Chain A
Amino acid sequence: MVTMTIDGQQVRAREGAYLLEVARSAGIEIPTLCHHDALEPYGGCRLCLVDVTREEWGGWCKMVVSCQYPAEDGLIVMTATERVVETRRVVLDLLLARCPETPLVQRLAREHGIEATSYARNPEPTDCILCALCTRVCDHIGVSAIATVDRGVGREIAPPFHEAPPDCIGCLSCAEVCPTGFITFTSSERARTIWGKSFTMLRCPSCGRAHITVEQAEHYAGRGGVPRSYFETCDACKRRGMADTFRRIAAGVAPVSVAG
């Protein structure tokens, strides 16, 4: 454990924990856009900037992204100094220029006192803030169907060659995690479409309800080391099957103890 100071408050933290996590567990809120508890820190949005210093630094301090800066013994963290707040405002100002029509960005900017961007408004407004939550989630699922492509102003989230991604399983996690709703999809009992790729839905053999895509079942089967048929039955029908097993056990029809 290490002992440090955040906004004048003495806190104890696990060694190797990042400042953002330590601050949040101490009840100190730091704004973020690209952070997710389940994913590795990314440092992309630059909103979680904080000032850090130490007693022996003689007043000198440096600005770091709190989501990627590990806790150290004796560190003094300031989450809302004038220059931190001003830098966050610049970040949001730029983000508002890029995404002028995105409610999440508008709200965050307004909370920081920015009503309209002071930069040139993006002539082609987008909802994508390049937080890369979608690509990181896709990596975690073990698919990696999408990625950030190009650099600088041309940077964007896209499938390879802007074509329907061959690896995508249509799980929709990228769309679920997207904070701005930039990733769109359609899903019905018949079919699902995302990233320009169409998927056939897998139907439960008992009730006929479509619950996952064929590609999802195949991917899960590979991950779990079980046959695809394991994932074909929907959860409601699995419950019904379980209820029947219990009824038979209670009635003495099924053996009371099957497993050793």
Chain B
Amino acid sequence: MAANIPQRPAETAPRISPSAEGSTTRGTQSPGTVMIYKVSVERCIACGKCELACAFAHGSEGQPAKTRINIFRRGPELGTPVVCFQCHDAACVAICPTEALVRNAATGAIDVVYERCIVCRMCVAACPFGNMQWDEPYHRVAKCDLCGGSPQCVPFCPTGALQYVPGDEAAQRPEPLVRGTS
């Protein structure tokens, strides 16, 4: 049973993040409304509140290093948040030998069914974006599950770099963030 991993992972990214807004993730909150988890890289000030919110929401002992959303800091108040894209044709799902990774029809997220997980960690190795992580405190794999349709990082983001918005709003280009001159 050969798993179907995308042959050219580099080209998978733009399909999921088709514009300069950054990455978007599809989900549905209520029937008829497609909700998109939208990341606007331009607006991120690398404050780390999303990482803390995630670490607390998922009980990883509040360790920001064990968060499922990771900010890569590239300068003062400049960051790039990286979080699971919930790929349409996901490598983690394709390689999982026990079908422990399943699409949640309600949220659109790929959820880990821990009862079916045999801890082989193939998904960690297979994700071309590194968004499937190993959570040592809980000794299990961890990925963004959109908090069951209410992402906890979003309300903590002070600049609106992270948003959970209806599909038509997600396509809009984000307002540039007015940054201090100092």
A232 to chain B: closest residue by CB: B125
Bound form: Cα–Cα A70–B115 in Å: 21
- Pair A258/B11 contact, Cβ less than 8 Å: yes
Q: Is the CB of A224 within 8 A of B126?
A: yes
Residue A247 interfacial (CB < 8 Å) = yes
Enumerate chain A interface residues (CB-CB to B < 8 A): 36-39, 137, 140-142, 171-173, 176-177, 211-212, 216-217, 220, 223-226, 230-231, 233-247, 249-250, 252, 256-259
Partner of B120, one of A171, A224, A230: A171
B127 interface residue (CB < 8 Å to A): yes
Contact: A225 with B119, CB < 8 Å?
no
- Most A Cβ at <10 Å: residue of B18, B39, B118: B118
Q: Which residue of A lies closest to B116 (CB)?
A: A38
Within the complex, what minimum Cβ distance (angstroms) separates B88 from chain A? 12
Q: How far is the CA of A244 from the CA of B18 in the complex (A)?
A: 16
- B86, chain A: closest CB distance, angstroms: 14
On whether the beta carbons of A250 and B22 are closer than 8 Å, the reply is: yes
- A-chain residues with CB within 8 Å of residue B95 when the two chains form the complex: 220, 223-224
Q: Are A177 and B119 in contact (CB under 8 A)?
A: yes
- Contact check: which of B23, B74, B120 meets A137 at CB < 8 Å? B120
- Residues of chain B within 8 A of A37, CB atoms compared: 113, 115-116
User: Which residues of B are in contact with A by a Cβ distance under 8 Å?
Assistant: 1-5, 7, 9-15, 17-20, 22-23, 39, 41-42, 70, 72, 74, 80-82, 91, 94-95, 97-100, 113, 115-122, 124-134
Complex CA–CA separation, A239 to B128 (angstroms): 9
Q: Which of A173, A243, A252, A256 contacts B82 (CB 8 A)?
A: A243
| A141 touching B97, Cβ below 8 Å | yes
B19 and A242 contact, CB distance less than 8 A: no
Contact status of A224 and B94, CB under 8 A, knowing A38-B117, A238-B129, A259-B15: yes
Q: How many angstroms from the CA of A24 to the CA of B127 in the assembled complex?
A: 33
Inter-chain CA distance A208–B140, complex, in Å, is 23
Q: Is the CB of B119 within 8 A of A173?
A: yes
Indicate which residue in B2, B74, B113, B133 contacts A247 across the interface (CB closer than 8 Å).
B74
CA of A234 to CA of B39, assembled, Å: 23
A84 to B80, CA, bound (A): 59
| Cβ–Cβ contact B98 & A39, under 8 A | yes
Picked from B5, B17, B39, B119, the residue with its CB within 8 Å of the CB of A226 is B5
Measured between beta carbons, the chain B residues less than 8 angstroms from A141 are 97, 118, 120, 122
Given the interface pairs A137-B120, A258-B11, the reply to whether A220 lies near B128 with Cβ below 8 Å is no
Residues of B within 8 A of A235 (CB): 124-125, 127, 130-134
Q: In the complex, A239 Cα to B130 Cα: how many Å?
A: 5
Contact A247 B5 (CB under 8 A): no
Query: What are 29 contact pairs spanning A and B, CB under 8 A?
Result: A36-B118, A38-B100, A38-B115, A141-B118, A141-B122, A171-B120, A177-B119, A211-B125, A217-B125, A230-B9, A235-B127, A235-B131, A238-B130, A239-B72, A243-B81, A246-B17, A246-B23, A246-B80, A246-B82, A247-B72, A249-B17, A250-B80, A252-B20, A256-B18, A256-B19, A257-B18, A258-B13, A258-B14, A259-B11
Q: A177-B119, A235-B133, A242-B129 are in contact. Are A223 and B3 (CB under 8 A)?
A: yes
Min C-beta distance of A145 to chain B, whole Å: 13
Q: Tell me, in angstroms, the Cα distance from A83 to B20 when the chains sit together.
A: 68
